[in-house]
């Protein structure tokens, strides 16, 4: 048993739950913050002191100068995008090179991976996943096919390995008849990004993290995406390509199951999904539009409309089970301030059949709702639980009872300060 623990903060629905905000808020409690999965498909928003940052590959603990931040082996990294992101932080006064450590085992996203991402999507036509176009699927495919390039490769003879993999991709693109692309400019910046990455600490982060744990230090594992986008447990094939659930923390950082402490499951007071795929609680009416407008539900990475609906207890219970969630975090409660009534999906129904378990395929299932009174009060300036309007308190109690877990953190606005600990 290690002395320190790895707590995880995991998005337990379709992503964009507010992970960045809460990781930043939690950072003072930890010694190390580490990303274990995904790459620049993530967009994690952090707002404090009138400043706003959207992080993609860099962990959200980076704003605390005393903490080590790690990009773990389970991640994929695009050198050009990483360079842009890191330079923006450096320009804002955050020194990175000493305290941002990158796993040698993390895989590299090549420019041709991004082209392949587009080509596969185009070939799928109507059945497209609606990816972020960041090359995530093709990069994890190459990892699984054992032909990928890793961060550690840039420390040695790199150019030749790069050319070989690029040529392989070009051949696939020719086979797909997808030849109308030009990566020459992008490739130049990408190679510049590779060079830029060399000034960071490229380390065996699994050994480093385990050493911290042995010293009694505590680590916060920052999830990316959400449980329903997990490659195994999500709404396959409309998923991302990494393990976004708590099992992914172990493989994506190289820590043993016994080192895992608390598992924080983060969700919004309602539901959203960006990209294609089944979404039983999706609202196509004015209510959905209102949630989108008030919640500003437009993607942080692609600017796409997020699809909106009421909270989905079937999905939440499933994700709680898969992850072993110990504590809940509820975000964006303020977005529901104006509604007369609030609904919660307690079951799915299809062809006269009703289930509270997550079906193999959620396509075609309709939500069964329970309805609660709205609170019709602005929550965003509230800083103490004692000041919650009774109807909001009743909504929180209802969710805790339905999910059989405590909601320990309630967020009532995008700012770091708009966070209530219970």
List interacting residues with Mg ion (CB under 5 A): 16, 43, 300
User: How many other CB atoms sit within 10 Å of the CB of residue 372?
Assistant: 17
The span of 13-21, 86-94, 112-120, 352-360 binding ligand GDP (CB under 6 A) equals 13-21
Least CB distance from residue 183 to ligand IMO, whole Å? Answer: 18
Angle at 410 between CA 404 and CA 412, to 5 degrees: 145
DSSP 8-state class, residue 110:
P
Closer to ligand GDP by Cβ: residue 40 or 43: 43
Please select the residue that binds ligand GDP; options are 40, 43, 72, 193, rule is CB under 6 A.
43
Residue 44 a catalytic site member: yes
Q: Taking CB under 6 A as the rule, which mask of x and - marks residues 259-298 in contact with ligand IMO?
A: ---------------xx-----------------------
Please select the residue that binds ligand IMO; options are 59, 72, 111, 137, rule is CB under 6 A.
137
Residues 268-327 binding ligand GDP (CB under 6 A) are: 300
Can you list the positions of beta strands (E) in 289-357?
A: 307-312, 327-331, 341-350, 353-355
Q: Could you say which of ligand IMO, Mg ion, ligand GDP, none residue 18 binds, taking C-beta under 5 to 8 angstroms by partner kind?
A: ligand GDP
Alpha carbons 270 and 191: distance in angstroms, whole number: 42
DSSP β-ladder status, 419-421 and 407-411: antiparallel
Least CB distance from residue 401 to ligand IMO, whole Å? Answer: 27
Alpha carbons 421 and 403: distance in angstroms, whole number: 19
DSSP 8-state class, residue 48:
E
Phi, then psi, of 261 in degrees rounded to 5 = -100, -110
Contacts of 381 (CB under 8 A, 6+ apart): 412
Residues 209-268 binding ligand GDP (CB under 6 A) are: none
Cβ contact 21:300 at 8 Å: no
Helix 390-403 × helix 313-323 angle, to 10°: 50
Residues 35-54 binding ligand IMO (CB under 6 A) are: 41-44
Q: Which two tokens stand for residue 53?
A: 């940052």
Q: Could you say which of Mg ion, ligand GDP, ligand IMO, none residue 210 binds, taking C-beta under 5 to 8 angstroms by partner kind?
A: none
- Of residues 24, 44, 117, 169, which has the active-site annotation? 44
Residue 16 a catalytic site member: yes
DSSP β-ladder status, 307-312 and 341-350: parallel
Closer to ligand GDP by Cβ: residue 79 or 223: 223
Q: Does 13 bind ligand IMO (CB under 6 A)?
A: no
Closer to ligand IMO by Cβ: residue 59 or 288: 59
> Which positions lie near ligand GDP, rule CB under 6 A?
11, 15-21, 42-45, 47, 300, 331-332, 334-335, 411-414, 418
């Amino acid at each position: 048993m290690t002395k320190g623990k790895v707590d995880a903060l995991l998005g337990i629905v379709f992503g964009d739950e507010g992970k960045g905000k809460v990781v930043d808020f939690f950072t003072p409690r930890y010694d190390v913050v580490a990303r274990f999965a995904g790459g620049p498909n993530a967009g994690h928003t952090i707002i404090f002191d009138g400043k706003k940052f959207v992080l993609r590959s860099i962990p959200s603990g980076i704003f605390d100068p005393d903490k080590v931040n790690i990009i773990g082996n389970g991640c994929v990294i695009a050198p050009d995008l990483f360079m842009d992101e890191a330079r923006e932080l450096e320009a804002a006064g955050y020194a990175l090179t000493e305290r941002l450590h990158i796993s040698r085992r993390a895989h590299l996203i090549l420019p041709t991976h991004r082209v392949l991402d587009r080509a596969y999507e185009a070939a799928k036509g109507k059945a497209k996943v609606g990816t972020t176009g960041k090359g995530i699927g093709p990069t994890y495919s190459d990892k699984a096919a054992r032909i990928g390039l890793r961060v550690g490769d840039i420390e040695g003879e790199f150019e030749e390995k790069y050319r070989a993999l690029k040529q392989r991709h070009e051949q696939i693109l020719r086979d797909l008849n997808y030849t109308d692309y030009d990566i020459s400019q992008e490739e130049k910046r990408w190679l510049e990004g590779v060079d830029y990455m060399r000034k960071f600490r490229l380390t065996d982060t699994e050994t480093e993290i385990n050493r911290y744990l042995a010293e009694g230090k505590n680590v916060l594992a920052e999830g990316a995406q959400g449980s329903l986008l997990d490659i195994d447990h999500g709404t396959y094939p409309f998923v991302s390509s990494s393990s976004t659930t708590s099992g992914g923390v172990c493989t994506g950082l190289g820590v043993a199951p016994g080192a895992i402490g608390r598992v924080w499951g983060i969700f919004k007071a309602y539901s959203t999904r960006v990209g294609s795929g089944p979404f039983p609680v999706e609202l196509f009416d004015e209510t959905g539009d209102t949630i989108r407008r008030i919640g500003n539900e437009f993607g942080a990475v692609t600017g796409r409309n997020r699809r909106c609906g009421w909270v989905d207890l079937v999905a939440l219970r499933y994700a709680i089970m898969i992850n072993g969630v110990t504590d809940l975090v509820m975000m964006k409660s303020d977005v529901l301030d104006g509604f007369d009534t609030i609904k919660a999906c307690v079951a799915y129904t299809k062809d006269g059949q009703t289930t509270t378990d997550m079906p193999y395929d959620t396509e075609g299932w309709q939500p069964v709702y329970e309805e609660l009174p709205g609170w019709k009060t602005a929550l965003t300036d509230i800083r103490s639980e004692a000041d919650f309007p009774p109807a909001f308190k009743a909504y929180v109690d209802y969710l805790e009872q339905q999910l059989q877990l405590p909601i320990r953190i309630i967020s009532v606005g995008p700012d770091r300060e708009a966070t209530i600990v219970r």
